[in-house]
Structure 1
Amino acid sequence: GIHGNTNSLGIHGNTNALGIHGKTNSLGIHGNTNSLGIHGNTNALGIHGKTNPLGIHGNTNSLGIHGNTNALGIHGKTNSLRIHGNINSLGIHGNTNSLGIHGKTKSLVIHGNTNSLGIHGNTYALGIHGNTNSLGIHGNTNSLGIHGNTNSLGIHGNTNSLGIHGTLLLGIHGNTNSLGIHGNTNSLGIHGNTYALGIHGNTNSFRNPWKH
């Protein structure tokens, strides 16, 4: 564990490969009071191959895995992986190439952050699914697919393909190319999409933005 540090703790500015990997039991970066970041690494940086629980949680101020140039993945965890309980801004953002939270066998949750939580500004493919409560994602350039979120989910400003299904409260706006939405249970409002937009299979209230 890297934990209980009062001021800044960072694993940053490394030029080649940096990995926290191959741990058998629990590994946590938690309980740091001020800034904690794994950031600014040039090549591959991965927290991967942990067998049991791995949590980055309980940090008071900013916690970010950000600004990595090549591949950054939190992947291949066998049991639970949680990034939760951060009070201020928590973002996995600004990564140039592939960023994936993928290959988890059991539960993966990004939840319980008090202020801004965003996975935003990633250039290539980013897919998020199966989150239970509120999750907001915005400003991704290429493909972004989100599905299976239970409560409120807001997505905006995505440039290319964006497909969303299976949520409750869902508001989407400002998407440039194709956007298809289906199977939403409760209220759904959509506006400002430039090209093809198909909406079907919504159960309850639907506000048509073109109708006054």
Structure 2
Amino acid sequence: MTDPAPSGRTAKRLKALRAILWALVLLAAGAGLYALLNRSEQPPEAAPYGDAVGGPFALTAPDGSTVTERTLAGKPFALFFGFTRCPDVCPTTLARLAQLRERMGEQGDGFEIVFVSVDPESDTPEDIGRYVALFDTPILGLTGTKEQIDAIVGAYHAFYEKVPTEGGGYTVDHTASVFLMDREGKLQSIIDHHESAETSLDKLERLVSA
């Protein structure tokens, strides 16, 4: 037994519905094509200072050698300012970078992690070496004179300030972001201290693949 043919009114209604659906499909396809042809070629995160971030510097590594911007040329790097007596932000950030590098597998070998002390009064090259060794991943620790630290902090538009504490001691307030620099030493992106690990991972993967 065959199904009865739709009535004339029903057939017209179905025909109109099909026409509407096809119109919506074509409209969506056209919108997608327009977006594809007119999409911005800018990267997802535009660097806030562009080429103004970074520049020449000369600092001292734990082995006593001098490290400059030329030493890092040709390989992306993640640069973080801190100090070895930092109680929270510094160890948390470096541990997180180490974990993200591990998650990246072989791709994690495609960038350097650079830790620059903003406490030249207390952090010797030897102190820096012992500190970065705690994180079980290669980290280039650097320090220098106050003048050298001021120069690189200024070049990266970062910030640090010595803050007195009770008992005659001091701590250091400083920029908590990580600067992601490309193979040419130009700022590609910044890892914010409060963003998710997945967001940071995506930025690092794009850094090494650029």
Bin of the TM-score, shorter chain as denominator length: under 0.3
TM-score normalised to the size of structure 1? 0.20
Structure number having the greater helix percentage: 2
Structure number having the greater strand percentage: 1
TM-score normalised to the size of structure 2? 0.20
Relative contact order higher in (CA < 8 Å, ≥ 6 apart) = 2
